């Protein structure tokens, strides 16, 4: 996005409570010269701007945002000082009474109380003047913000509606009510801020998991250093009970690691020398030494937080609809209120004061805060509720698509099965020694990352067999691998591919069938025209795979296993887990199958992301499973960080609950508006009820969204 003259800059902006606020900031900044694009992440309180610093300086942008009534401070200049690109772990929001909006509540409240006292003591009308004063002083900062927005080309803001309504009320002599409205408006703003802050904290809590300091090993002992100063290759000491300060590999010690903060996995895992551990996890038992493998800002948890925060930008279609709706809604209400003020007195000779009053109250109904916050509040709560259990979704669009899924497709290896096949049978061809079969096969597979390859190499190492050196190693996707071993090309492939190449002796094929019917995967090893034998492996289904499929069908969802493995092995495994399957699929077959299913409805594909990234992309919703797959987190639409198959139904449950919550919120916000629209025009409710209704709706909507934080998607309904 950024070219030579454009730089991306980021700020933390405080005081934004709803999408109305973010729109105001974005529109104001985007009008400035030299600004290519401006984006605001509401829950992350982040403004990022691509700008040409030669045309507009950062402090000019800051001045504009401040004029609108928000706080602003630079976070990072991503491409200017990359080494500082660590977001400060911000703590909780400041207490409400320390914010500008909080001070306005105190001020307007005191003025109102004072005016009431004056009114009691001076029945002759001194009270009226006191209410006028209270209203004017209270509305001044609001009017100031309205003027700032107006100067930036935004006439219709909540502040401008407020200012007109309060000013109009004064003109028709309703000073007491005007002062009350100003006070209630200030209270509402604070309540909205508190509610939005609660939603934010769920995400921030993740950042607080990484300890601030680390014990760096140096010649002559350890030294306490800030955790975000660690660099790759440094060795740190982690005492039992400590949190791990960075992603790294253990170089000394064995301990139980509680990864629940990062992945949601609640059972501590035993980790030992050579194993990877994540920043934020807790070392439960023994002291460990660990070598840092990732810069602090690339830590898995830092990437999860970024993903969750940025997810807000991937807006749900519902959300975009509401944005468009509220853009029409405000002007429409203003037009309606003009009609209410003008038509009855002019056309029907009715009383001006009554209808001006009703028109002004209608203006306050025009405040779309509750409506515009209804979707992002639910989404933010859902994202952080999911993140705490290792269920990640990249934003509202993914949540919406996941809620509509009708069919779930699973990859077999590493998803429904453990992905750690174990060699069960070695069947050398006549005249071939078992050792040669194994050492040649391991030689071919040594460079491959395929789970079958790893099983063969592991078996060779365990048996103390020399792994022959190889060159020109190459994968035959969906079929096997080939390499030059000991001077001659050698293959390890599926028996069917080997049969075509003349690399299995026909007598062996019945053995293959028998092994495959037991759910084992068989590969044939051969050189040009010379069969060397068969190797059988078995990859156990994950313990919760069958439960996951049962849950999915209870939720009315279909489930299918796609595998490159042969039909008999696939049928045996699918029979154990009890789901539909399609076998013998080449990677491109998987794509075609998913494309066809996409046409019939929403398909979610769950895979380990290692060799099925294209299929994950093709599916309506692609979910990568397993914390190990770094690539997948970036390319998929979401991820299940724990190796639990039951998290697939869980993430759909979360998505469905979120969409349900959003529907409730939209209905609540629109319903309340509709009710008070009618009562206002009929004159049943007045000015201060109108403002109370808007604030009340905003608070109700946010509270309802916060219920999602407590929703446990892993529990069956």
Query: Which positions are annotated as active-site residues?
Result: 411
* Residue 316 touches which of Zn ion, ligand ATP, none (Cβ within 5-8 Å per kind): none
Sequential DSSP letters for 245-287 = -S-EEEEE--EEEE-HHHH---S-EEE-TT-EE-TT-EE-SS-
Q: Is 622 in the site for ligand ATP (CB under 6 A)?
A: no
- What is the CA angle 478-479-482, rounded to 5? 125
Q: Minimum distance between the CB of residue 160 and Zn ion, rounded to whole angstroms? A: 13
Q: Is 560 in the site for ligand ATP (CB under 6 A)?
A: no
Query: Residue 634: helix, strand or coil by DSSP?
Result: helix
Which of 326/704 has CB closer to Zn ion? 326
Q: Are 356 and 684 in contact (CB under 8 A)?
A: no
Which of 439/611 has CB closer to ligand ATP? 611
C-alpha–C-alpha distance, residues 547 and 577, integer Å: 8
Q: What is the DSSP letter of 643?
A: S
C-alpha–C-alpha distance, residues 387 and 263, integer Å: 8
Non-local CB neighbours of 353 within 8 Å, separated by 6+ positions: 172, 173
Half-sphere exposure of 664 (CA within 13 A, CB side): 17
Retrieve residue 497's tokens: 């591919």
Q: Minimum distance between the CB of residue 648 and ligand ATP, rounded to whole angstroms? A: 15
Q: Minimum distance between the CB of residue 498 and ligand ATP, rounded to whole angstroms? A: 9
* Nearest in space to 567 (alpha carbons), one of 653, 654, 494: 494
Q: Which of 299, 494, 629, 680 binds ligand ATP (CB under 6 A)?
A: 494
Q: Which of 450, 459, 542, 653 binds ligand ATP (CB under 6 A)?
A: 450
C-alpha–C-alpha distance, residues 28 and 15, integer Å: 16
Non-local CB neighbours of 508 within 8 Å, separated by 6+ positions: 427, 429, 524, 531, 533, 534
Q: Which of 521, 560, 627, 702 binds ligand ATP (CB under 6 A)?
A: 521
The secondary structure element, H or E, covering residue 638 is strand 638-640
Q: Which of 22, 448, 665, 685 binds ligand ATP (CB under 6 A)?
A: 448
Q: Which of 188, 480, 602, 626 binds ligand ATP (CB under 6 A)?
A: 480
- Across-strand partners of 40? 47
Which of 280/451 has CB closer to ligand ATP? 451
* Residue 374 touches which of Zn ion, ligand ATP, none (Cβ within 5-8 Å per kind): none
Q: What is the distance of C-alpha 156 from the center of its chain?
A: 32
Burial class for 603, CB neighbours closer than 10 Å (0-12, 13-18, 19+): buried
Which of 445/647 has CB closer to ligand ATP? 445
Which of 298/576 has CB closer to ligand ATP? 576
Q: Which of 399, 452, 534, 645 binds ligand ATP (CB under 6 A)?
A: 452
C-alpha–C-alpha distance, residues 219 and 230, integer Å: 16
Q: Is 523 in the site for ligand ATP (CB under 6 A)?
A: yes
Q: Minimum distance between the CB of residue 603 and ligand ATP, rounded to whole angstroms? A: 16
Query: Residue 124: helix, strand or coil by DSSP?
Result: coil
Q: Is 478 in the site for ligand ATP (CB under 6 A)?
A: yes
Q: Minimum distance between the CB of residue 651 and ligand ATP, rounded to whole angstroms? A: 20
Query: Which residue of this chain has its Cβ atom nearest to Zn ion in the complex?
Result: 18
Q: Minimum distance between the CB of residue 17 and Zn ion, rounded to whole angstroms? A: 5
Segment contacting ligand ATP by CB under 6 A, of 263-271, 304-312, 326-334, 447-455: 447-455
Which of 55/518 has CB closer to ligand ATP? 518
Q: Are 523 and 495 in contact (CB under 8 A)?
A: yes
* Residue 17 touches which of Zn ion, ligand ATP, none (Cβ within 5-8 Å per kind): Zn ion
Q: Minimum distance between the CB of residue 16 and Zn ion, rounded to whole angstroms? A: 7
Q: Is 479 in the site for ligand ATP (CB under 6 A)?
A: yes
Segment contacting ligand ATP by CB under 6 A, of 115-123, 199-207, 282-290, 490-498: 490-498
C-alpha–C-alpha distance, residues 410 and 155, integer Å: 52
Which of 184/525 has CB closer to ligand ATP? 525
């Amino acid at each position: 996005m950024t070219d030579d003259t454009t730089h991306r800059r980021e700020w933390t902006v405080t005081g934004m409570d709803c999408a109305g606020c973010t729109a105001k900031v974005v529109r104001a900044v985007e009008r400035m010269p030299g600004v290519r694009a401006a984006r605001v992440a509401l829950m992350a309180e982040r403004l990022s701007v691509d700008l040409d610093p030669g045309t507009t300086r950062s402090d000019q942008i800051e001045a504009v945002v401040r004029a609108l009534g928000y706080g602003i401070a630079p976070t990072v200049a991503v491409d200017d000082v990359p080494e500082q690109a660590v977001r400060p772990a911000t703590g909780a929001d400041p207490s409400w009474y320390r914010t500008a909006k909080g001070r306005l509540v105190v001020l307007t409240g005191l003025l109102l109380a004072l005016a009431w006292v004056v009114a009691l003591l001076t029945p002759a009308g001194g009270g009226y003047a006191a209410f006028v004063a209270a209203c004017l002083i209270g509305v001044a900062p609001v009017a100031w913000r309205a003027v700032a927005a107006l100067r930036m080309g935004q006439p219709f803001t909540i502040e401008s509606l407020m200012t007109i309504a309060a000013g109009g009320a004064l003109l028709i002599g309703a000073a007491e009510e005007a002062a009350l409205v100003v006070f209630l408006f200030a209270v509402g703003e604070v309540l909205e801020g508190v509610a939005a802050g609660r939603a934010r904290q769920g995400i921030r809590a993740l950042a607080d998991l990484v300890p601030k300091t680390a014990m760096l090993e140096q010649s002559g002992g350890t030294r306490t250093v800030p955790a975000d100063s660690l660099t790759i290759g440094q060795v740190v000491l982690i005492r039992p009970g400590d949190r791990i300060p960075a992603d790294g590999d253990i170089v000394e010690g064995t301990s139980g690691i509680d990864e629940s903060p990062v992945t949601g996995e609640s059972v501590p895992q035993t980790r030992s020398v050579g194993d990877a551990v994540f920043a934020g996890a807790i070392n439960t038992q023994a002291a460990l030494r660990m070598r840092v493998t990732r810069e602090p800002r690339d830590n898995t948890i830092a990437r999860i937080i970024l993903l969750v925060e940025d997810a807000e930008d991937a807006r749900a279609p519902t959300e975009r609809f509401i944005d468009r709706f509220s853009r029409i809604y405000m002007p429409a209400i203003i037009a309606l209120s003009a009609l209410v003020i003008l038509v009855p007195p002019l056309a029907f000779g009715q009383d001006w004061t009554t209808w001006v009053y009703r028109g002004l109250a209608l203006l306050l109904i025009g405040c779309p805060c509750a409506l515009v916050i209804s979707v992002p509040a639910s989404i933010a709560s859902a994202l952080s509720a999911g993140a705490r259990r290792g269920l990640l979704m990249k934003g509202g669009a993914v949540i919406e698509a996941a809620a509509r899924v009708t069919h779930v497709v699973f990859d077999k290896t590493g998803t429904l099965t453990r992905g750690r096949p174990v060699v069960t049978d070695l069947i050398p061809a006549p005249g071939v020694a078992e050792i040669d079969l194994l050492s040649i096969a391991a030689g071919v597979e040594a460079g491959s990352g395929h789970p079958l390859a790893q099983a063969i190499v592991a078996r060779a190492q365990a048996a103390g067999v020399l792994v022959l050196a190889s060159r020109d190693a190459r994968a035959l996707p969906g079929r096997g691998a080939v390499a030059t071993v000991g001077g001659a090309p050698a293959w390890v492939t599926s028996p069917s591919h080997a049969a075509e190449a003349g690399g299995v002796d026909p007598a062996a094929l019945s053995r293959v069938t028998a092994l495959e019917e037991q759910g084992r995967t068989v590969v044939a090893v051969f050189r040009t025209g010379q069969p060397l034998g068969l190797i059988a492996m078995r990859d156990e289904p994950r313990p919760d795979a069958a439960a996951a499929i049962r849950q999915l069908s209870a939720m009315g969802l279909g489930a299918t296993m796609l595998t490159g493995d042969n039909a008999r092995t696939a049928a045996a495994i699918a029979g154990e887990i009890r789901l539909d399957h399609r076998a013998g699929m080449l990677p491109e077959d998987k794509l075609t199958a998913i494309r066809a299913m996409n046409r019939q409805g929403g398909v979610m594909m769950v895979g380990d992301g290692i060799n099925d990234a294209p299929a994950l992309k093709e599916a309506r919703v692609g979910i990568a499973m397993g914390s190990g797959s770094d690539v997948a987190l970036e390319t998929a639409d979401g991820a299940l960080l724990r190796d639990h198959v039951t998290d697939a139904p869980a993430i759909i449950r979360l998505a469905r609950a979120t969409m349900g919550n959003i529907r409730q919120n939209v209905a609540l916000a629109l319903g309340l508006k509709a009710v008070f629209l009618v009562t206002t025009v009929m004159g049943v409710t007045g000015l201060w009820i109108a403002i109370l209704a808007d604030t009340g709706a905003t608070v109700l909507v946010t509270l309802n969204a916060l219920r999602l934080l407590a929703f446990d998607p892993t529990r069956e309904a």
